[in-house]
Copies of this chain bind each other. A is one copy, B any other.
Amino acid sequence: MKTSVIVIGDELLIGQVTDTNSGFLARTMAPYGWEVEWIQTVPDTEEAITRAVNEALERSQVVLTTGGLGPTKDDITKSTLCKIFGGTLREDPAVTENILEVFKKRGLKLNELTARQAWVPTSAHVIQNRVGTAPVMWFETEEPRHVLVAMPGVPFETEHVFSHEVLPRLLETFPSQYAVSHRTLMVSDITESALAMRLAHWEESLPKHLHLAYLPKPGLIRLRLDGHSRQRDTLEREIDQAVAELKALCSENLLYDGDATPAEILLHELKKHGATVATAESCTGGNIARLITSIPGSSECMQGGVVAYSNDVKANVLGVDRNALATYGAVSEPVVLQMAQGACRVTNASIAVATSGIAGPGGGTDVKPVGTVCIAAASATGETIVHTYHFPGNRSRVVDRASTTALLMAIRLLRNLPKTTN
């Protein structure tokens, strides 16, 4: 089944907001063999929306739109769809009731503009949006049967409404036989081109309906194997076989079998070891802690951390020796190692990682240019790893690379620890 996604909103075309809805929709539909073949972003004008909708309906049986359903003057998706599919705007009492409910929960009073959101085209079937005030509208054409579903632009609302209401109805309306399968491996400590050369011969030998994609990320590579077939059973066996071969070829560079972030892989290892983690961050400024704590259930293994931006915090909170700070400087292997050991101690964690570096744009010197980052991992039982890196790029890129590298170092430390706890 092929779908098109139309993302509506001026704010996207001037780059003030980044669209995450189309990616969410694609990821959610993929396991059911539904492919997004076309994503288009258009401004809040009747002309652009009309043109995109007509082109999309010609291309795909299912068209999903997000955005342009708000209460304000610049939101014209609803009136435009009413012109395309016919009918007139009329108040839907069930929508009014839902809006009153949502406003009551939020402790707000209904006003005229929001009340107008209950007016919907008579040509649309309404799906209630339980987490917001803009109703979801399902339009259909006959012979050939095409469906367009208009959803709000707020990512939280789209995600809720699509998963709970829209997708089940789409699967019922268009039952599918076609099987699609994806598998992802995480690979580290190798460049994309070196990996591609190692895999070239094997890649050539893949059957035509299997396809390998390289998705490099800072510090690692995601390898994704995709397969499409009418034979679901055969496809699963073929993919299993290919993944086994691929894992053998990746050998010592294989980090993880599955699609996971470094923080997720670390949590997985921590649980396996019955261990806990802490962070001591200077240049990454809390980013490593955030990456870990953004995962549900991380509180089981995450003790906490210290953002040690100033030298006072490094010394007073983490107990870094002031002599070491004076002698080697804050960005040095002795200091970052003491930071990791201090974090272990003050939080009672089994292991800790620490970063200290120059993220830029200011602060660089000839000896320690922007991008210089010292990273350490230490365990409560005395094992340590420490290394100095030079990462390319701007501030956010240096922070990303340093965070990923620190998480990978923690995984390496854990995998080498004697397993005493299990």
> 0/1 per residue, A268-304, Cβ < 8 Å to B?
0000000000010100111111101110111100111
A195–chain B nearest beta-carbon distance, Å? 9
CA A182 to CA B22, docked complex, whole Å:
27
A401 to B304, CA, bound (A): 21
Tell me, yes or no, whether A246 is within 8 Å of chain B by CB: no
Q: For residue A197, which residues in chain B have a CB less than 8 angstroms away from its CB?
A: 111-113
- Which of chain B's residues have a CB closer than 8 A to the CB of A200? 73, 113
* A171 contacts B by Cβ under 8 Å: no
A11 within 8 A of B: yes
User: How far, in angstroms, from A26 to B14 measured CA to CA in the complex?
Assistant: 5
Kindly provide the distance from the CB of A360 to the nearest chain B CB, expressed in whole angstroms: 7
Is A306 an interface position by the 8 A CB rule? yes
Q: Which residue of the partner chain B has the closest CB to A191?
A: B108
Partner of A213, one of B48, B74, B361: B74
Cα distance, A20 to B211, chains bound together (Å): 25
CA distance in complex: A306, B343 (Å): 11
Q: What is the bound-complex CA distance between A108 and B14, given in angstroms?
A: 38
B-side contacts of A48, CB under 8 Å: 37
Stretch at the interface among A76-84, A391-399, A404-412: A391-399
User: Is A207 part of the binding interface, using a Cβ–Cβ cutoff of 8 Å?
Assistant: no
Structural contact, B296 and A360, CB atoms closer than 8 A: yes
Residues of B within 8 A of A41 (CB): 22, 38-40
Stretch at the interface among A136-144, A310-318, A378-386: A310-318
* Beta-carbon contact of B312 and A347 below 8 Å: yes
Please state if A193 and B71 are interface contacts (CB–CB under 8 Å).
yes
Verify B305–A286 contact, CB threshold 8 A.
yes
Q: Known: A285-B289, A305-B307, A307-B307. Contact between A395 and B70, CB under 8 A?
A: no
Q: Is the CB of A289 within 8 A of B304?
A: no
CA distance A147 to B349 in the complex (A): 57
A93 at the binding interface (Cβ < 8 Å): no
Cβ–Cβ contact A306 & B309, under 8 A? no
Chain A, range 1-26, C-beta contacts under 8 Å to B: 10-20, 22-26
Given contacts A108-B191, A194-B111, A290-B290, contact A10 B71 (CB under 8 A): no
Instruction: State A79–B26 Cα separation when bound (angstroms).
Output: 27
Known: A192-B72, A196-B71, A196-B113. A307 touches B310 (CB 8 A): no
**Is B303 in contact with A310, judged by CB distance below 8 angstroms?**
yes
Would you list which residues of chain A between 57 and 87 have a CB under 8 Å from chain B?
Answer: 70-74
Tell me, in angstroms, the Cα distance from A200 to B24 when the chains sit together: 34
**Closest chain B residue, CB of each to CB of A112:** B197
Determine whether A334 belongs to the interface, using a CB cutoff of 8 Å to chain B. Answer: no
| CB of A196, distance to nearest CB on chain B (Å) | 5
> A348: CB under 8 A from chain B?
yes
CA distance A397 to B296 in the complex (A): 13
Which residue of B20, B285, B299 contacts A290 across the interface (Cβ within 8 Å)? Answer: B285
Q: Are B16 and A224 in contact (CB under 8 A)?
A: yes
> Nearest Cβ in chain B — how far from A151, in angstroms?
15
Q: Using CB atoms and an 8 Å cutoff, list the residues of chain A in contact with chain B.
A: 10-20, 22-28, 30, 35-43, 48, 70-74, 105-106, 108, 111-114, 131, 154, 156, 182, 191-194, 196-197, 200, 203, 211-216, 222, 224, 226, 259, 279, 281, 284-290, 292-294, 296-299, 302-310, 312-313, 316-317, 346-348, 360-363, 392-397, 399
7 closest A-B pairs by beta carbon, nearest first, are A285-B293, A286-B289, A15-B27, A15-B23, A286-B286, A15-B26, A304-B313
What are 20 contact pairs spanning A and B, CB under 8 A? A14-B35, A15-B25, A16-B222, A37-B43, A39-B41, A40-B41, A74-B211, A74-B212, A74-B213, A106-B392, A156-B393, A285-B289, A285-B298, A286-B307, A287-B290, A289-B307, A294-B396, A303-B313, A306-B307, A317-B317
